[in-house]
Amino acid sequence: MGTVLVQLALFLAILTIIALVLGEYMAKVFQGEKTLFSFILRPIEKLLYKLFSIDEDQEMGWKTYTFSLVLLSIIGIIVLFVLQEFQHLLPLNPQGFGAVRWDTALNVAISFVTNTNWQSYVPESTLSYLTQMLGLTVQNFISAAVGIAVVIAFLRAFTKKETNTIGNFWVDLTRSIIYVLLPLSILYSLVFVSQGMIQNLNPYVKVKTLQGQEQIIAQGSVASQSAITTIGTNGGGYFNANFSHPYENPTPLTDYMHIFGLLIVSAALPFTFGVLLKNRRQGWALFAAMAILYLIGLAIALWSEFHGNPFLSKLGIEHGLNMEGKEVRFGILNSVLFGQSTTVTSCGAVNAMHDSFMPLTGLVCMFNMMVGEVIFGGVGSGLVGMILYAILTMFLVGLMIGRTPEIFGKKLEPYEMIMAVIALVLPSIVQLIFGAVASTHGFGLSSLNNSGPHGLSEIIYAFASGAGNNGSAFAGLNANTPFYNLTIAFAMLIGRFATIIPSLAIAGALIKKRFVPDEAKFPTASPLFVVMLVSVVIIVGALTFFPVMVLGPILEKLLMATGGLF
């Protein structure tokens, strides 16, 4: 256990240092200041503005900003859908894959445009090289950049006053890609290739197994896609086995790089906010709230896995440790660390099968997604969600002290509260309604691999993953059916845009207001605020999802003690 604690302490220390440095760097990028890489990237940025007739000095109101974002997303869905339907007529398809079934193609298109990357299909036997690169990889960059652009626009509401504009969407999008996502992805790709991850366009390889059977080994541009998959908290794997596949995760170094990659941008954004707000302590407060929630979940998950299954103990397995579904190269610690990290972010990549986790570990993963992916969360969307919870927290503070609530120097009025509640509650409503329908009708139950409470957990996890824009799954559920493809696609749209649009509406309202005098503020950069914020996230999640958690993973845990299996 001592080795585990040292390893985790070192991991968190490195993550904090990287996040702090990257946060300061991103603050400079989005303030238009000169950075270490400006001499290379600034000419490229200016060239792109010229090519697409973008005036970087012309700012937008929140409605224009939102319209640009939604229009780009609609175009992305259409292009990716059409690309899948006509991939059999296009080049870079050495395996001769045909058109993707329409409901699967629509789900894929919505999934990658919303930064969910839910995959109900087998990628290496469904999508051509061109579809993977021109379709999925491009959307990995764009969807992640959209998330960063939204949080930067949202943060401007607290750093600017008495104006009607929140920035230029196309400028924020461009800077997110060329200054943040692209350099990190290039660095990651080079390291991945050095570790043995493949990067080619070769036809699939046919080999003979030791038993004399023929096996087809898929090839492709794996390293480049895996890099942006983690950096952009996308999660969609090149292979069905995702990051438990040796081509996507060949060594312990790449495993840790994946974990760091899916956390670093999201963890850095609170520090970016602190710099933009000219109050670094505020950035530390938000980071601390996220880190506390992360550690609470990680502690529960590790306790659950290391205490194992009592049924396995009776069979003579030490401590009942359950290695089924886990990659033996990385073991329990890295499997749990990866699982916790991928569900607190909207990544969804996995190096172990979440369906095989112990019930309480599965509960933690579901809770991370159910609260809206705010515990670090997706690139941009996580900080937006956490600030929405902070708005709710300050509303409760205002009620307790009998004063108009304010946050980060801006007064909160009914309009902002309504928008915040919509953004926090609507995705939860959608996932619970669809989960109830699926668990009570044949078209939902027919896809289950397990019965009882674990089967319910598989269904609820699927819709929590969709509405949380996560993309991971309890793989015991076959979700590649018209019902699940269409309902999860709708949940993904709600999870994405029911958060983004109200958040930008809040930004549009707050940016018109003047700053509240310092003496009138509740100290939001204090330990008290951090404790209250953490408590609100946990209480809201518990009140919303406690009944279904009791019927799913909690009941499974209790029945497991009696030898019950599902």
Q: Which residues contact 468 (CB under 8 A, 6 or more apart)?
A: 346, 368, 369, 370, 372, 373, 427, 431, 495
CA distance 96 to 223: 23
The CA–CA distances, whole Å, from 530 to 285, 391, 536 equal 6, 13, 10
Give the number of other CB atoms < 10 A from CB of residue 279: 18
Residues paired with residue 215 on neighbouring β-strands, in sequence order: 207
Q: Which of 96, 182, 183 is nearest to 131 (CA)?
A: 96
For the record, the structure tokens of 480 come out as 């590649």
The CA–CA distances, whole Å, from 136 to 98, 110, 148, 293, 353 equal 17, 11, 18, 31, 23
Mind listing the pLDDT tens digit of every residue in the chain (566 residues)?
Answer: 678 888 899 999 999 999 999 999 999 999 999 998 999 999 999 999 999 999 999 999 999 999 999 999 999 999 999 999 999 999 999 999 999 999 999 999 999 999 999 999 999 999 999 999 999 999 999 999 999 999 999 999 999 888 999 999 999 999 999 999 999 999 999 999 999 999 999 999 999 888 888 888 999 999 999 999 999 999 888 898 899 999 999 999 999 999 999 999 999 999 999 999 999 999 999 999 999 999 999 999 999 998 878 777 777 777 668 888 888 888 899 999 999 999 999 898 999 999 989 999 999 999 999 998 899 998 988 999 999 999 999 988 888 877 778 888 889 999 999 999 999 999 999 999 999 999 999 999 998 888 889 999 999 999 999 999 999 998 888 999 999 999 999 999 999 999 999 999 999 999 999 887 765 567 888 999 999 999 999 999 988 999 999 999 999 999 887 766 66
CA distance 84 to 218: 19
CA torsion 198→201→206→211, rounded to 10°?
20
- Domain segments of the chain: what residues? 2-276
The CA–CA distances, whole Å, from 125 to 67, 229, 239 equal 36, 19, 9
CA distance 374 to 545: 16
Q: Under a CB-based contact definition with an 8 Å cutoff, are residues 143 and 381 in contact?
A: no
Q: Which residues contact 197 (CB under 8 A, 6 or more apart)?
A: 222, 223, 226, 247, 248, 250, 254
Q: Which of 326, 322, 328 is nearest to 310 (CA)?
A: 322
